[in-house]
């Protein structure tokens, strides 16, 4: 066991070292592989434990996993990554739940184990099961297998969830107290599965990244609990690191969009745009055409592109890049203003624009670019909404009040590309659209940008 | 044993907390994905319980599934993270200055 | 036991490393002083060896000295750190913005 | 033991939490007390270990420690803090060495202990003893009980040190191998004491802060080793945290002044100023008087004060504050340019100027102020030398080449206050003094500043 233990220490040291790398852009790729190497060490160490057997079955499991995991990771599209991460997270939680269940069966309901083994295993089973089913629902919503809008039982939601949780806990307590009927552990797994499903169903598609991060942290915690039950240092350390870092990450993400985790889990908010209504009741918006927009930008000194969720939906990043290239060829300075929570996951815009090979020095973070708008001739907002909403600065009653926004309204003129007058993620109107300096170019972002590009070519 | 493990648990929690607290926004998603891969370590649990002699067909089937799940989590997680990070390659030098 | 302790040792090393890596220049000296106070924890070693029944006069004398040394380290360390930090009080708000 | 272990976990959690506080200016004071509370918890937990006895002796030790520690920490002057820290660090190391020695005596030379207990204890003894004696020497140098200049055996230094280390290790190995003569452990302690003394003696007074930080890290490591030997989690964790953070800190400090730790420990460099020679051979410097300096500053729009080691030596901070007040009363904008390694410990200038109640928003860090010099009428350099030396930018053969400096030479005129033409810590000439825009005001910094202040009052 000594060699195994030492290798475990090596393994988790590699995890930590790898994670430290992952937090810096220059070292991130290497950090990821260092952590992967740590995982290799941990697996090999485990296979070295004296008395290991069932080799064929082990190989079978590993082979199936690799056969499924490798191609799906290789083939998934950039924009489908969030749901892929959800799926990978889910199966991790599922594994924990299954192992805990088998442990129960092998030990006759933890009859001969210390109480803490039972408690830790059952905690792992409950959390793992919540994570598995919750992640599946999150996957379904993001993949649009399930409707993205909140599905819930309204005011009954909270009591039902609490009841499910209480039921799961009751099963667990009965087992720890000495009951050993297998029905109890199955009951625990089923109740927590229902809990996972019902907690995630009412959450709007837009809140999903935060929820996935939360489920990720939960899976980490369940792994740590499993480690306590199995007295396995590698599991404890790795699981707890993920549990802690995942919690912080969830918080950072929630904070960046001025939401609180309880509010998100309580659900019901953030169902994405309401029904499109082209013109607002009393106020009017100014419309523009692709040709006008092209002329306006072609003769500008500086243009700032403000991408948002709509650009991701429309997959317009390549078209945007092309448009920007034409503008730059005409001597226009083009920058991209990246709001930290534009899109539906942190770094969403960076990933997309990087995919379209936008030079990195053109991407400016919010703090860096906010002073520039006042010096900018045209700000072109491509499918962004909430991150440009001045209500965040001016209207204390707005749900997004206090969120830092891009000061698009300070630039000399604004062109907004979106399909209609629908609200964004937060479901609030945007006064920017009624600003006399703003012109709307309605239509799918990709189509609109392509039209503008064509017009630019003809100028 | 348990108490030592608790000490390890608490320390690992601090490590997780500290390691994340200075990460740029852009890397949130790859980081989430990377930590996601790491909790695939539950795979070890499956290996131990199966390898040290689980009995019964159902149990064995469940454990093979668990191992497969864990492996998907690990392999898929690291690969996807690498692909995400690949998007930033070549551009990282500018960013590193910040 | 030893191996568990080694795991604890490695994790604590990472914690120490991570906790320091984002500290402003100005706080280097108080931080050095603060960590200095913390290693006064060797005091516990003296308490344990003496308390659990060290024998012989010389040994007892040595241990009392060790305890006194450890206590000086702890008490003096924290007090001096506090005094250093007191110098920055009231001014800290401006600094915190950076 | 369970309660003790749990309290230990609480204790080290408080240490870490406290340290996290100590890294931010706003939370530092509280962080320090949180760490102290952790120490209280750890001590109480230890006293709760079943079977504790010798209560009177324990109380005696604690009382002596408190009676010595509290007043010395309370009374020490701000500028004597570095040597105080050295002393506190030293006694910590001494405690480790003593405990290890007693352990040896109590267990008949570790006869009935696992090998790792012997190894860890002897490591603790060796490192603790080096740290104790090294710290005493550092204290002596900084307190000017010993001469600040390097004292060494020249080329024999390294071989002698290596011999001492080898001797100490040999004693240790003999004990681990089974020998149990007490002479061996005493030999180990004495040889490592000699090593500590001889390593620190040749180091110039100016490198002392780095050396103290290094000895601090070593004491931490020895505490961790002692923890392994005693199987005490609190000691392991706390010691290792200090060991690791101390190592990083030492590195940061060394890097900030463009030195490497091996170079410092090898010693011989950094003995402080050479003999004063008022005028350099071929080049001449321009001298000025307090009256002229006063006039020049009184009619400036902006003055930047550049404090350095000389201000600390002269204890001129209060005088400087008074001078700045007078200037500001006349409408002159006064800022202080703080180089990260000005003085002899990081934050040295901040501490001194804070002591003199200089408003915090007047203190500017290097990066913040370097752009300002070009817009500045008078830069007044008070006892700083190396941190203003343009050779760091221009002369690749200079030992300080590459160190970031304050761009004093960009300001419209420079007044340098120092006693003579002696070099600073790095022992290199400073071309700034021969710049036609520079005027020298020779004399002790405090006296010169007071003279200027008097002149200002009379204007
Ligand atoms: N980044 C994250 O981590 C994250 C995670 C979860 C939630 N959020 C939240 O998501 C929001 C992000 O702000 P955002 O400004 O990027 O997006 P947004 O406020 O959700 O607005 C997106 C806009 O894009 C338009 N749009 C949708 N599909 C389009 C298409 N095909 N072509 C053109 N336009 C299209 C929509 O209007 P039409 O329907 O009228 O076209 C919608 O108003 C914030 O409220 C943030 O808090 C962010
Ligand atoms: N901050 C740290 O952590 C730290 C630690 C160790 C070493 N260092 C090193 O120390 C140096 C710090 O640079 P520095 O510019 O502050 O100091 P410096 O380069 O050492 O120069 C100090 C100058 O002050 C003058 N001086 C001494 N006593 C004086 C008095 N009573 N009145 C007026 N002038 C007096 C000396 O010249 P006269 O003799 O002609 O008066 C000397 O040239 C750097 O090289 C740095 O690497 C820094």
Q: How far is A98 from chain B (nearest CA, A)?
A: 6
* Angstrom distance (rounded) from CA A156 to CA A153: 5
Question: Is the same domain home to A294 and A211?
Answer: no
Written in H, E and C, the secondary structure of A100-159 is HHHHHHHCCCCCCCCHHHHHHHHHHHHHHHHHHHHHHHHHHHHCCCCCCCCCCCHHHHHH
Question: Is the same domain home to D63 and D118?
Answer: no
* Angstrom distance (rounded) from CA A51 to CA A347: 46
Counting residues of chain D whose pLDDT is more than 70, the rounded percentage is 94
- Domain assignments of chain C as residue spans, ordered by start: 26-97
* Rg of chain C over all Cα atoms, to the nearest angstrom: 18
Q: Chain C residues with CB inside 8 Å of D113's CB? A: none
Calculate mean pLDDT across residues A189-214: 88
On whether residue A343 sits in a domain, the answer given is yes
Query: CB under 8 Å, gap of 24 or more: what pairs does A276-285 form?
Result: A276/A419, A276/A420, A276/A421, A276/A422, A277/A420, A277/A421, A277/A422, A278/A420, A278/A421, A278/A442, A279/A421, A280/A421, A280/A429, A280/A433, A280/A434, A283/A434, A284/A434, A285/A421, A285/A433, A285/A434, A285/A438, A285/A440
**Of A207, A386, A409, A429, catalytic:** A386
Tell me: the pLDDT tens digits for A10-68?
999 999 999 999 888 788 899 999 999 999 999 999 999 999 999 999 999 999 999 99
Q: Which of D75, D92, D111 is the last residue in one of the domains?
A: D75
Is the CB of residue A117 below 6 angstroms from any atom belonging to ligand 1? no
Tell me: the pLDDT tens digits for D54-113?
999 999 999 999 999 999 999 987 778 888 999 999 999 999 999 999 999 999 889 888
CA of D313 to the centre of ligand 2 (A): 9
B69: nearest CB among A94, A103, A241: A94
* Angstrom distance (rounded) from CA A260 to CA A210: 10
Question: Is the same domain home to D242 and D306?
Answer: no
Give Cα separations from C17 to C81, D250, D347, D393 (angstroms). Answer: 20, 12, 21, 32
Domain span at residue A131 reads 83-265
* Angstrom distance (rounded) from CA A111 to CA A116: 12
Average predicted confidence (pLDDT) for chain A: 89
Is the CB of residue D424 below 6 angstroms from any atom belonging to ligand 2? yes
CA of D424 to the centre of ligand 2 (A): 5
On whether residue D280 sits in a domain, the answer given is no
What is the pLDDT at residue A116?
93
* Angstrom distance (rounded) from CA B32 to CA A83: 12
On whether residue D359 sits in a domain, the answer given is yes
Q: What number does the ligand 1 atom closest to the CA of A425 have? A: 20
Q: Does the annotation count D361 as an active-site position?
A: no
A19: nearest CB among B19, B58, B64: B19
Tokens read off for D305? 């004060």
Calculate mean pLDDT across residues C23-31: 76
Tokens read off for A44? 């090999």
What residue in B sits closest to C18 (Cα-Cα)?
B18
What is the pLDDT at residue A279?
40
What is the pLDDT at residue D426?
75
pLDDT at D434 > cutoff 80: yes
Number of domains chain A is built from? 3
Contact B10 D9 (CB under 8 A): yes
Calculate mean pLDDT across residues B11-22: 90
Q: How far is B11 from chain D (nearest CA, A)?
A: 8
On whether residue A278 sits in a domain, the answer given is no
What is the pLDDT at residue D272?
40
Contact C62 D101 (CB under 8 A): yes
Counting residues of chain A whose pLDDT is more than 90, the rounded percentage is 62
Is the CB of residue A419 below 6 angstroms from any atom belonging to ligand 1? yes
- The H or E element spanning position A441 is strand A438-442
Token look-up 């001739």 returns A377
Please tell me which chains touch D, using 3 or more CB pairs under 8 Å as the contact test: B, C
ipTM confidence score: 0.79
On whether residue A432 sits in a domain, the answer given is yes
- Orientation of helix D2-22 relative to helix D28-47, angle to 10°: 160
What residue in C sits closest to B8 (Cα-Cα)?
C8
Q: How far is C10 from chain A (nearest CA, A)?
A: 7
Put residue A278 in one of left, alpha, beta given phi > 0 → left and psi -120 to 50 → alpha.
Answer: alpha
Nearest to D445 by CA among D346, D343, D339, D298: D343
Contact A388, A418 (CB under 8 A): no
Q: What number does the ligand 2 atom closest to the CA of D270 have? A: 7
CA of C34 to the centre of ligand 1 (A): 48
D78 contact C CB<8A: yes
On whether residue D159 sits in a domain, the answer given is yes
**C/B Cβ contact: 3+ pairs below 8 Å:** yes
Burial of B9 (0-12, 13-18, 19+ CB in 10 A): buried
* Angstrom distance (rounded) from CA D315 to CA D317: 6
Q: Can you say how many angstroms the Cα of residue D336 is from the centroid of all Cα atoms in its chain?
A: 22
On whether residue D273 sits in a domain, the answer given is no
Question: Is the same domain home to A215 and A347?
Answer: no
Question: Is the same domain home to D96 and D66?
Answer: no
The strands making up D413-418's β-sheet, listed across from edge to edge, are: D363-365, D333-338, D302-307, D378-382, D413-418, D438-442
Question: Is the same domain home to D229 and D187?
Answer: yes
**Of D108, D282, D377, D386, catalytic:** D386
Nearest to B24 by CA among A24, C13, A7, D233: A24
pLDDT at A446 > cutoff 90: yes
Contact A23 B27 (CB under 8 A): yes
Q: How far is D8 from chain B (nearest CA, A)?
A: 9
Question: Is the same domain home to D385 and D447?
Answer: yes
Tokens read off for A58? 């082990």
pLDDT at A74 > cutoff 80: yes
Q: Which of D55, D75, D95 is the last residue in one of the domains?
A: D75
Token look-up 């006349």 returns D330
Is the CB of residue A271 below 6 angstroms from any atom belonging to ligand 1? no
* Angstrom distance (rounded) from CA C15 to CA C9: 10
Other C-beta atoms within 10 Å of D300: how many?
Answer: 23
Give Cα separations from A128 to A82, A98, A121, A132, A248 (angstroms). Answer: 19, 9, 10, 6, 20
pLDDT at C91 > cutoff 60: no
The strands making up A302-307's β-sheet, listed across from edge to edge, are: A363-365, A333-338, A302-307, A378-382, A413-418, A438-442
Q: Which of A12, A40, A75 is the last residue in one of the domains?
A: A75
D88: nearest CB among C14, C64, C77: C77
Burial of D362 (0-12, 13-18, 19+ CB in 10 A): middle
Beta strands at A378-382 and A363-365: parallel, antiparallel or unpaired: unpaired
User: For residue D197, which phi and psi values (nearest 5 degrees)?
Assistant: -65, -50
Tokens read off for D161? 């040190």
- Whether the full predicted model's pTM is greater than 0.90, yes or no, is no
- Orientation of helix A28-47 relative to helix B42-51, angle to 10°: 10
Question: Is the same domain home to D43 and D170?
Answer: no
Per-residue confidence at A176, pLDDT binned at 50, 70, 90?
Answer: very high
On whether residue D275 sits in a domain, the answer given is no
């Amino acid at each position: 066991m000594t060699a195994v233990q030492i290798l475990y220490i090596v393994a988790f040291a590699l995890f930590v070292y790898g994670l430290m790398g992952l937090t810096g852009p220059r070292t991130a790729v290497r950090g990821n592989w260092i952590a992967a190497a740590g995982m290799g060490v941990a697996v090999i160490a485990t296979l070295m434990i004296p008395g290991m057997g069932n080799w064929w079955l082990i190989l079978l499991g590993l082979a199936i996993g690799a056969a499924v995991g490798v191609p799906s990771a290789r083939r998934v599209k950039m924009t489908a990554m969030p749901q892929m991460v959800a799926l990978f997270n889910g199966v991790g939680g599922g594994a924990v739940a299954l192992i805990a269940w088998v442990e129960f069966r092998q030990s006759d309901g933890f009859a001969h184990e210390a109480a803490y083994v039972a408690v830790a295993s059952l905690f792992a089973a409950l959390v793992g099961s919540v994570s598995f089913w919750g992640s599946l629902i999150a996957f379904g919503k993001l993949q649009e297998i399930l409707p993205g809008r909140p599905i819930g039982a309204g005011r009954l939601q909270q009591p039902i969830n609490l009841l499910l949780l209480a039921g799961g806990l009751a099963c667990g307590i009965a087992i720890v107290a000495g009951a050993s009927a297998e029905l109890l552990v199955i009951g625990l797994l089923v109740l927590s599965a229902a809990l996972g499903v019902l907690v995630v169903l009412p959450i709007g598609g837009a809140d999903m990244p935060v929820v996935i991060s939360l489920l990720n942290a939960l899976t980490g915690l369940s792994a740590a609990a499993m480690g306590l039950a199995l007295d396995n240092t590698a599991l404890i350390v790795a699981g707890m690191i993920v549990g802690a870092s995942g919690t912080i990450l969830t918080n950072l993400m929630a904070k960046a969009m001025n939401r609180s985790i309880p509010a998100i889990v309580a659900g019901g908010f953030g169902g994405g745009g309401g029904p499109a209504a082209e013109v607002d009741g009393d106020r009017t918006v100014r419309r523009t055409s692709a040709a006008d927009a092209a002329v306006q930008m072609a003769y500008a000194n500086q243009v700032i592109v403000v991408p948002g969720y709509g650009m991701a939906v429309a997959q317009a990043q390549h078209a945007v890049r092309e448009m920007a290239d034409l503008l730059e060829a005409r001597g226009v300075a083009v920058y991209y203003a990246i709001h930290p929570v534009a899109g539906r996951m942190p770094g969403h815009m960076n990933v997309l624009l990087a995919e379209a090979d936008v030079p990195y020095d053109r991407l400016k973070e919010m703090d860096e670019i906010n002073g520039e708008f006042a010096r900018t001739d045209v700000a072109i907002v491509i499918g962004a909404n909430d991150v440009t909403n001045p209500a965040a600065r001016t209207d204390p009653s707005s749900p997004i009040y206090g969120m830092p926004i891009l000061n698009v309204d300070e630039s000399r003129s604004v062109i907004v590309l979106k399909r209609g007058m629908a609200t964004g993620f937060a479901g609030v109107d945007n006064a920017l659209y009624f600003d006399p300096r703003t012109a709307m170019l309605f239509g799918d972002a990709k189509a609109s940008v392509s039209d503008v590009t064509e017009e630019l070519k003809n100028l | 044993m348990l108490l030592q493990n608790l000490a390890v648990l608490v320390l690992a929690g601090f490590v997780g907390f500290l390691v994340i607290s200075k990460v740029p926004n852009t890397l949130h998603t790859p980081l989430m994905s990377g930590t996601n891969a790491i909790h695939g370590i539950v795979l070890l649990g499956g290996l131990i319980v199966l390898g040290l002699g689980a009995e019964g067909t159902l149990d064995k089937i469940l454990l093979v599934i668990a191992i497969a799940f864990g492996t998907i989590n690990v392999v898929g997680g690291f690969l996807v993270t690498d692909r995400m990070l690949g998007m930033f390659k070549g551009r990282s030098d500018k960013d590193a200055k910040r």
